[in-house]
């Protein structure tokens, strides 16, 4: 959590076994493929923190400026990809959607994504990376589960509750094992706002995906344009161009961040989130801190301790169990349709 581009990022939490699941979502993407897309997106998001740490170490670029370049670069890459494949992109929307509705969807997605990112950075600045990340990740599952139940009628079920509990426990173990951290009220408030932005983005994507009219490619491209415009004045105040003795390293890292954990990951995320239940999405995206922890140990030389191992295993078990429950539900629905 995403967040969306700092030393460790943000994303969220929950659901599983009781609500009806579609073998092929109304959005046209099979549930199984949606789960794969989300897993790849979560793992890719986890690499953004390591790349961002290299940028910060090489110069004086701030987190908001980095986020702006990430979103602006992601927008250009996604736009280029869409222009190169216009026929396939247009064909993804199974149901025609009026222009006004498409514009509203793009603006809503862009604004919620901007709130998610900027509030997260404010939380990190106010109360530190560890507390800001954990509060955002911990609040996200709860907000998404409640929103999915009230607005979408998606129930958790016993399997979903166990998966959410396991994921939150794993996150807590990772936090406790990370050392001491100061908790400041303003920082917690910003983290909760970030979690609310992420939850709204996830729920809206799922809501639009269920009616078959969501062109996730178009929404993703132009949502990043909206985010870039929102971040531009803040990034300009912080300083758009860093002072650095290693411009090639900074440019290479920025290109990677724009291409892999942004353009690729968000394209896969929005496509998967339209096909898979919202609470399931939020738990699977907890692969992000798992991926970040693996990179920190294997590539950045950070110490591997018992808390890191235990927390990672708990979160992986929760993600695996929830994905399996979602796939089984989709298979049951498919068989029922065939038998019927």
Q: For 208-258, write each residue's pLDDT tens digit.
A: 876 655 567 888 899 999 999 999 999 999 999 989 999 999 999 999 999
Q: What's the pLDDT at 64?
A: 86
Average of per-residue pLDDT across 315-334: 69
Residue 85 above 80 pLDDT? no
Average of per-residue pLDDT across 7-34: 47
Question: pLDDT tens across 44-55, in order?
Answer: 887 887 788 788
Q: What's the pLDDT at 3?
A: 41
**Does residue 42 contact residue 284 with C-beta atoms inside 8 Å?**
yes
Cβ neighbours of residue 57 under 8 Å, at least 6 residues apart? none
SS3 (DSSP) at 244: strand
Provide the b/e sequence for 226-252 (b: ≥16 CB within 10 Å).
bbbebbbebbeebeeebebeeeeebee
- Angle of CA points 259, 261, 267, to nearest 5°: 80
Q: What's the pLDDT at 175?
A: 63
Q: What's the pLDDT at 41?
A: 92
Residue 89 above 50 pLDDT? no
Question: pLDDT tens across 264-294, in order?
Answer: 999 999 888 888 877 778 778 777 777 777 7
Residue 8 above 60 pLDDT? no
pTM for the predicted model, two decimal places: 0.74
């Amino acid at each position: 959590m995403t967040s969306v581009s700092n030393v460790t990022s943000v994303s969220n939490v929950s659901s599983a076994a009781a609500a009806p699941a579609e073998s092929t979502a109304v959005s046209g993407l099979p549930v199984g493929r949606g789960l794969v897309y989300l897993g790849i997106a979560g793992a890719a998001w986890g690499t953004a923190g390591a790349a961002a740490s290299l940028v910060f170490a090489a110069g004086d670029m701030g987190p908001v400026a980095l986020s702006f370049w990430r979103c602006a670069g992601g927008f250009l890459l996604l736009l280029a990809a869409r222009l190169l494949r216009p026929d396939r992109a247009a064909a993804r929307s199974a149901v025609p959607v009026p222009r006004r509705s498409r514009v509203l969807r793009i603006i809503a997605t862009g604004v919620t994504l901007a709130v998610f990112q900027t509030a997260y950075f404010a939380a990190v600045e106010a109360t530190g990376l560890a507390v800001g990340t954990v509060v955002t990740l911990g609040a996200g599952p709860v907000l998404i589960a409640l929103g999915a139940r009230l607005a979408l009628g998606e129930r958790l079920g016993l399997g979903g509750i166990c998966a959410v509990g396991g994921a939150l426990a794993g996150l807590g173990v990772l936090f406790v094992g990370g050392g001491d951290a100061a908790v400041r009220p303003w920082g917690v408030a910003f983290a909760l706002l970030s979690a609310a932005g992420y939850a709204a983005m996830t729920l809206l994507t799922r809501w639009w995906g269920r009616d078959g009219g969501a062109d996730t490619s178009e929404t993703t491209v132009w949502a990043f344009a909206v985010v870039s415009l929102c971040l531009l004045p803040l990034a300009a105040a912080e300083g758009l161009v860093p002072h650095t003795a290693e411009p090639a390293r900074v440019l290479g890292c920025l290109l990677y961040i724009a291409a892999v954990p942004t353009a690729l990951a968000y394209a896969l995320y929005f496509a998967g989130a339209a096909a898979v239940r919202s609470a399931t999405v939020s738990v699977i995206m907890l692969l992000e801190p798992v991926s970040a922890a693996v990179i920190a140990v294997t590539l950045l030389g950070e110490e591997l301790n018992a808390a890191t191992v235990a927390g990672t295993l708990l979160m992986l078990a929760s993600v695996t169990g929830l994905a399996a429950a979602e796939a089984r539900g989709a298979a049951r629905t498919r068989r029922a349709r065939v038998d019927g």
